[in-house]
Structure 1
Amino acid sequence: MSSLISTRNPESTVMDVQSSRVVPDGGYGWIVVAAVALINMTNQSILSVFGQLFVGELQKMQEDTFTAALITNLNSLALNFSGLFIGPAIKSFKPRNVAATGCILVALGLALCAFATESWHFILGYSFFVGFGLGLISPSTFMAINSYFTTKRGRAVGVSLAGAGLGQVLIPHLVRYLLDNHGFRYAVLSMSSLSLFGLFGAAFLKPLNPPAKHNNRKHIRLLAETDGERTSPLQVVVISTNQSKTERSPPNVDTLCSRMGQRLVQAMDLELLKDVVFWSIIVGMALVYTATINFTMIFPGFLEQTAKLNSQMVAFCMSLVAGADIVCRLLLPIVTDHLRIPYRVVFLIGIVGLFVARCVLAENQALPVIISMSVLTGMMKSATVINNNLTISAHCRSEKLAGGLGLSMMSKGIIVITVGQLLGWVRDYADSYLICLYAQGAILLAVVLFWTPEILYRHRRQRCATNKSMETQSIDAAEVTKLNS
């Protein structure tokens, strides 16, 4: 019996190895940040030029707006549902290899689109290959950065995401030049070649002090062996009857299905779903993500049809959103890291700012108000984008982070397809951008009202625990002093 109690859990061994790492909080980590910025600039920014690249070609194929929306929605679905595989992939193949695979899939998908002759070619190339590739890139590059930083993690993530923002500013001009001078096929093939520059960045994603070969399949086998040692193959059950006591052996419950279920739970870290706070985090962030996607889609139409701005002013306001987003991705983490504000609190502040901006835009369409709210939207958007994965990393243990990121992506995919489609229906049914803005605001307000009491409660409980610990230490110190005297 004592041998069973002393059996060491393999998972605790992994935790001990990871906790013994020395995190440089910089050093080579800044090279990793630059590499991730390059990957984001050449791959993640592809999403911003979909309209430029493909809408004209789809119109030549006599396809309507529904087809273009279907392609982008399926792209988002593939991007987020890649979270189903991202946890096991990162554990088994390391972030560098997963990021490189994502870059290759993006390049392959764009190359297929270059030779498209029917709309389903775009669905295959852009929706599935590009979407799945981008889904592999985002969490794997975050995992690479996360291992090198502690107190400076926020600014490191901000700089890496600024690469995507810079790409969204520069690449549309490159695409316009290529389309005007060389045509559709050459432009798409050029974007495909550009995405392969991400492989150069992926080569620098060197893991920090990797543990002794953490193979996911081997880890699961060790867990299964440990469980086998703890339970004997024959369990005796004593059944009392009116006449006597008999013994019988229960049927063997260790079936193939149960073993496969255990492997699936371990590979995808599904035990995280037992945590109510984790559910609150991923669902709340998915709702904010959906409201942000919907706002990005309707904002140009709101400016043109409701606010009655010309195309030049519409472009100017959209540039203000992008510019404020990029600047705050660089500056905001420096402030929040210095003040040591929790990532989830910064995310919550961003939600409140987005809610305020939407309500003000719905109430007042004067040009100075629109300009100021465009800047505020960009600033608050950066607070949510930067602290998305950081919030999960602060809640999950390091060995569960990959699975946590994957589950978060899957929740986004589900809510984008359901709540996102509902927001689109509200816009079409009401035929009003203002009502759609209020609907987005209602979603953001729901997250704020749900998160705030929980965060305050956890903060108060943590502060009480800290005060009690300090009191205990002071009492112990006083007793030691008394004994020495």
Structure 2
Amino acid sequence: MDVQATRVVPDGGYGWVVVAAVALINMTNQSILSVFGQLFVGELRQMQGDTFTAALITNLNSLALNFSGLFIGPAIKSFKPRNVAATGCVLVWFGLTLCAFATQSWHFIVGYSFFVGFGLGLISPSTFMAINSYFTSKRGRAVGVSLAGAGLGQVLIPHLVRYLLENHGFRYAVLALSALSVTGLVGAMFLKPLNPTGKHNNHRHMRLLADADQADKHQSSSLQVVVVPASNQTKGEELIPKTETICGRLSQRLVQSMDLELLKDFVFWSIIIGMALVYTATVNFTMIFPGFLGQSAGFDSQVVAFCMSAVAGADIVCRLLLPIITDHLRIPYRVVFLLGTAGLFAARCILAQSKDLPIIIVMSVLIGVMKSATVLNNNLTISSHCRSEKLAGGLGLSMMSKGVIVISVGQMLGWVRDFADSYTICLYAQAVILLLVVLAWTPEILFRHRKQRRQRRTTTKSMETTVDGGEEVAKLNS
């Protein structure tokens, strides 16, 4: 009997305990990304590191995080979400501990970029899989609450980092964050699988594949060429047997496993590249925002921490409320993402021109609101475009596009900051990237919307014509 067929999804119950556990993991691990600039930039400056180096560290972190999606599926099948999430927490702890004892900038690349990035890459999909098994209709709310944990961490941790840096120094501040990340193991303990299926034996699976390949090799090598007289040969008949090479089989399996057929869709390309550009601009803004407030605007560390908390506070509130509003109004996920991108563009431009604290606080809140619109609707945009059987591949390709663009365009933004020696110009460069996404997406979305309206009108008219014809036939028969 199939276990999957008899599985009952509670759509709540113990699932809310899993949501709380995931929120704890996100609060103590995922929120660490938001304090990179506040925590590491000062230490990098003492090591003679520039903004380009800081951008390289954050971009390599994003690269490791996103490209971990290549093999996260087999890891979850073999070791279960609980163990994968726990491993991610341990890797984050180990990476931060290495950073605490760093003496050169490349130590941060090893500790923060690779270990922390890879650990966060394991945490995100495994915790989502744990929630996904417990919820159906309430899945969006559950994901929003779990992501709110990361937002809560972004509110509290900047103040903790400020206190630790001012009173205990860089090393103890990083060690405190590494100890905080270990508490994610407590949350991982509660990621109990729902009606777990049979154990996936990867070793046996690989052995069967190897045996199949050997059988194919033996079959192809045992083929013999038969000489047929010319008189018995039919015109156009091919006597050379068609054999499939090992490379052909591997490439076909790669295409099927990663759903590379999606790359034939131009709209899909537009979606993943646009979301990757927005993601890159967000990562770069998180890195330079403390420097802009401290050096360009001239505020002290307390005001810097308050503005960062304003961004995170608005983000966490909207992560809880925005799914309810958009679901009620039935606004397409991609449209909400586009509106959030346009709002981020406007906020960047106003923020770059202003040095007044009230305006900066308002723009910080606006950036938090618009950021939540893009974060919440990232995967939902992919799911609304791809069929269910292609969704996993679509998410993986989206993650890889983020990794490629963040290491290229993200490094360009770091170079702009160093070359111009201005945080303001860097904000304008981010705004240009966001504007490109708005200009590329808006005509396409409007065209598809009008096309769908015409199709609905045509369908409605054909149905009305059918109904009218049926009524006339009925009258004649009567």
TM-score of the pair, normalised by structure 1? 0.78
* Structure 2 counterpart of 1:84: 70
Question: Of residues 339, 356, 361 in structure 2, which corresponds to 1:349?
Answer: 339
* Structure 2 counterpart of 1:10: none
Q: Mind listing any 5+ residue stretches in structure 1 that lack a counterpart?
A: 1-13
Question: Of residues 358, 363, 382 in structure 2, which corresponds to 1:373?
Answer: 363
1:269 aligned onto 2:259: yes
Map residues 39-54 of structure 1 onto 2, 5 A cutoff.
39-51=25-37, 54=40
Report the residue type matching 1:40 in the other structure. Answer: N
Instruction: For 2:467 and 2:77, locate their aligned partners in 1 and report how far apart those are by CA, in whole Å.
Output: 43
Shift of 1:339: 2.0
Map residues 229-240 of structure 1 onto 2, 5 A cutoff.
none
When residues 253 and 435 of structure 1 are mapped into structure 2, their CA distance, relative to the original with a 3 A threshold, is farther
CA contact (8 A) 1:58 1:64 kept: yes
CA contact (8 A) 1:86 1:403 kept: no
Q: Secondary structure at the match of 1:245?
A: coil
Aligned sequence identity (%): 76
When residues 71 and 291 of structure 1 are mapped into structure 2, their CA distance, relative to the original with a 3 A threshold, is closer
CA deviation string 1:168-201 (max 9, x = no partner) = 2223444455566766655544433332322332
CA contact (8 A) 2:155 2:308 kept: no
Instruction: For 2:166 and 2:296, locate their aligned partners in 1 and report how far apart those are by CA, in whole Å.
Output: 32
Q: Mind listing any 5+ residue stretches in structure 2 that lack a counterpart?
A: none
After alignment, is 362-371 or 470-479 more displaced?
A: 470-479
After alignment, is 304-313 or 449-458 more displaced?
A: 304-313
CA contact (8 A) 2:23 2:145 kept: yes
Shift of 1:422: 2.0
After alignment, is 417-426 or 113-122 more displaced?
A: 113-122
Aligned residues, how many?
Answer: 460
Shift of 1:59: 6.6
Q: Secondary structure at the match of 2:313?
A: helix
CA contact (8 A) 1:95 1:143 kept: yes
Q: Secondary structure at the match of 2:71?
A: helix
CA contact (8 A) 1:87 1:268 kept: no
Q: Secondary structure at the match of 1:254?
A: coil
Map residues 193-342 of structure 1 onto 2, 5 A cutoff.
193-207=179-193, 245=235, 247-250=237-240, 252-307=242-297, 309=299, 312-342=302-332
When residues 117 and 423 of structure 1 are mapped into structure 2, their CA distance, relative to the original with a 3 A threshold, is closer
When residues 152 and 446 of structure 1 are mapped into structure 2, their CA distance, relative to the original with a 3 A threshold, is farther
CA contact (8 A) 2:78 2:199 kept: no
Q: Secondary structure at the match of 1:273?
A: helix
CA deviation string 1:380-421 (max 9, x = no partner) = 111111111222233334444333222212111111121122
When residues 336 and 367 of structure 1 are mapped into structure 2, their CA distance, relative to the original with a 3 A threshold, is same
* Structure 1 counterpart of 2:147: 161
Shift of 1:447: 1.2
* Structure 2 counterpart of 1:410: 400
1:389 aligned onto 2:375: no
TM-score of the pair, normalised by structure 2? 0.79
When residues 151 and 317 of structure 1 are mapped into structure 2, their CA distance, relative to the original with a 3 A threshold, is same
Report the residue type matching 1:256 in the other structure. Answer: I
* Structure 2 counterpart of 1:9: none
Instruction: For 1:177 and 1:283, locate their aligned partners in 2 and report how far apart those are by CA, in whole Å.
Output: 39
Please tell me the root mean square deviation across aligned C-alpha atoms, in Å: 4.3
When residues 96 and 344 of structure 1 are mapped into structure 2, their CA distance, relative to the original with a 3 A threshold, is farther
Report the residue type matching 1:201 in the other structure. Answer: G
Q: Secondary structure at the match of 1:249?
A: coil
Q: Secondary structure at the match of 2:237?
A: strand
Report the residue type matching 1:319 in the other structure. Answer: S
When residues 98 and 273 of structure 1 are mapped into structure 2, their CA distance, relative to the original with a 3 A threshold, is farther
